[in-house]
Amino acid sequence: MLNWIILMSGAPPGEGGQQGNPLTMLVPFVLIFVIFYLLIIRPQQKRQKSHQQMLDSVKNGDRVITTGGLIGNVVGIKEEDGVKVLVLKIAEDTKVEISRGHLQQIILKNR
């Protein structure tokens, strides 16, 4: 394990007596973290922020799609035990209640 670390630090093989700068060993780890942040963490934060803005903008009359695939019109918004619930009208005499967090997309905004 130590030999692998020495090789990764850039020290030529056979010169085990010379120790490399410990900061040069940290550079690959910092680069990996920066790449993870730019490619994975930051885009996910943007998606979450966009989704939260969409959830906050839902109002009566909007046509929506749920994560389960139901399509309906929002006819009511209420709160039960601290959870915001949307009442969707999916057919003529059929209304269902879903958690606001399970809303996937707003198809048509009520103007």
Mean pLDDT is lowest, of 21-30, 86-95, 97-106, for 21-30
At 45 the pLDDT is 95
Q: Are residues 70 and 47 in the same domain?
A: no
Name every residue whose Cβ is closer than 8 Å to that of residue 7 and which is 6 or more positions away in sequence.
Answer: 13
Q: Are residues 69 and 45 in the same domain?
A: no
Q: Are residues 24 and 43 in the same domain?
A: yes
Our separate counts of H helices and E strands in the chain read 3, 5
Q: Are residues 66 and 24 in the same domain?
A: no
Q: Are residues 31 and 10 in the same domain?
A: yes
**Domain hosting residue 92, numbered range:** 60-108
pTM equals 0.67
Cα 27 to Cα 17: distance, rounded to the nearest angstrom: 22
Q: Are residues 86 and 100 in the same domain?
A: yes
Instruction: Quick: pLDDT tens for 37-70.
Output: 999 999 999 999 999 999 999 999 999 999 999 9
7 pLDDT above the threshold of 80: no
At 66 the pLDDT is 95
